[in-house]
């Protein structure tokens, strides 16, 4: 499966911020064969937010533009107004996403996962390191929507990926895995995912350049390049 991560906390030309811009890029991703989205709603000033109004508007716009796509959002603790406010915001959504990503390196990750599960929202468990994987495996958690193995903007991440996957396997965690990187690790992680039968994602949240290093003008060019890598490996996009 290939997921389109349209904006994150990125900024600049081509990065969708408003509900209308997110919806337009969602429609493009759909036309390219992708059926899964990950977006970060923004407020009127362009800052990331989990507040009900902007979040509901972003999700509703994406669903209207691409009704057969699943829509997920990030819940990072850096998003205003922070951990306590985050829990209040999540509980107040009226147009909830299909799933949220929750980072295991954040102290209140179990509480956020429990709240969203009670609300009927799926969870992508974000694991950035072997320490995160150890914490995840030690928690008494039901099966998650998927596990995100997330690698930083670094050139050599294969050893950490191997450690994480080994720990998950030893613990008997059988959830689907989505492997992705950031910056220089984005395309190597995507290629490895395609070769090893894992899911991955691409978009301005993760990188702003194409596989050959040239700048990407829009999400469409990033998604097109990723889709070709998946097809060349015989992998489905949906």
202-232: per-residue pLDDT in tens?
A: 999 999 999 999 999 999 999 999 999 999 9
Residues in the chain: 238
16-53: per-residue pLDDT in tens?
A: 999 999 999 999 999 999 999 999 999 999 999 999 99
What is the model's pLDDT at position 132? 98
CA 43 to chain centre: 19
What is the model's pLDDT at position 80? 76
162-171: per-residue pLDDT in tens?
A: 999 999 999 9
CATH superfamily of this structure's domain 2-232? Aldolase class I (3.20.20.70)
41 Cβ contact partners less than 8 Å away, ≥ 6 residues apart:
19, 48, 49, 50, 54, 55, 57, 58, 59, 73
Is 156 in contact with 193 (CB distance < 8 Å)? no
> Could you tell me where the beta strands, DSSP code E, fall in the chain?
2-5, 36-39, 70-74, 99-103, 122-127, 146-151, 177-181, 200-202
93-141: per-residue pLDDT in tens?
A: 999 999 999 999 999 999 999 999 999 999 999 999 999 999 999 999 9
The pLDDT of residue 81 is above 90: no
Q: How many Å apart are CA 147 and CA 109, to the nearest integer?
A: 14
Is 114 in contact with 120 (CB distance < 8 Å)? no
What is the model's pLDDT at position 104? 97
């Amino acid at each position: 499966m290939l997921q389109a991560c349209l904006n994150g906390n990125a900024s600049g030309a081509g990065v969708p911020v408003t509900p209308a811009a997110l919806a337009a890029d969602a429609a493009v991703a759909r036309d390219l064969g992708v059926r899964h989205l990950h977006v970060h709603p923004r407020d009127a000033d362009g800052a990331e937010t989990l507040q009900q109004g902007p979040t509901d508007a972003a999700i509703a716009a994406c669903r209207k533009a691409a009704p057969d796509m699943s829509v997920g959002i990030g819940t990072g603790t850096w998003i205003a107004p922070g951990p306590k406010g985050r829990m209040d915001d999540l509980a107040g959504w009226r147009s909830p996403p299909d799933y949220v990503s929750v980072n295991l390196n954040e102290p209140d990750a179990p509480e956020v996962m429990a709240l969203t599960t009670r609300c009927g929202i799926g969870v992508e468990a974000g694991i950035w390191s072997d320490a995160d994987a150890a914490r995840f495996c030690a928690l008494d958690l039901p099966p998650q929507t998927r596990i995100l193995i997330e690698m930083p903007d670094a050139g050599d991440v294969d050893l950490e990926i191997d450690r994480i996957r080994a720990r998950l396997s030893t613990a008997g965690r059988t959830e689907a895995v989505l492997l992705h990187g950031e910056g220089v690790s984005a395309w190597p992680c995507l290629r490895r995912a395609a070769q090893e039968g894992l899911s991955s994602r691409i978009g301005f949240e993760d990188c702003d350049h194409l596989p050959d290093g040239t700048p990407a003008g829009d999400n469409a060019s990033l998604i097109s390049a990723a889709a070709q890598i998946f097809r060349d490996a015989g992998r489905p996009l949906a």
